[in-house]
């Protein structure tokens, strides 16, 4: 499954790395691609994402799921 998430608060390459790491830890996630310019992350996963978990990981990393 492929899903595009909007993430608020990313401003540089470090943010991209942090968000990539956070999302890669979510259950079922196989691939993460973050686009800083548009503030989005595209996530490939083996099944439906647990959005509560996604939100938790993103917020723990210091960003916000829009």
Instruction: Tell me the two tokens of residue 58.
Output: 């993103």
Q: Which of residues 3-62 bind Cu ion (CB under 5 A)?
A: 11-12, 14-15
Q: How far is CA 30 from CA 37, 40, 45, 48, 57, in A?
A: 22, 17, 5, 12, 15
64, 10 Cβ separation under 8 angstroms: no
Closer residue to Cu ion in complex, CB, 39/54: 39
Query: Closest separation between CB of residue 11 and Cu ion, Å?
Result: 5
Closer residue to Cu ion in complex, CB, 21/51: 21
Query: Closest separation between CB of residue 3 and Cu ion, Å?
Result: 23
Instruction: Tell me the two tokens of residue 34.
Output: 């973050």
Instruction: Give contact residues for Cu ion (rule: CB under 5 A).
Output: 11-12, 14-15
């Amino acid at each position: 499954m492929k899903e595009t998430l909007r993430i608020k608060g990313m401003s540089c390459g470090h943010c991209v790395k942090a968000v990539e790491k956070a999302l890669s830890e979510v259950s079922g996630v196989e691939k993460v691609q973050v686009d800083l310019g548009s503030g989005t992350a595209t996530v490939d996963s083996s099944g439906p994402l647990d959005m509560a978990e996604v939100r938790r990981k993103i917020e723990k990393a210091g960003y916000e799921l829009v």
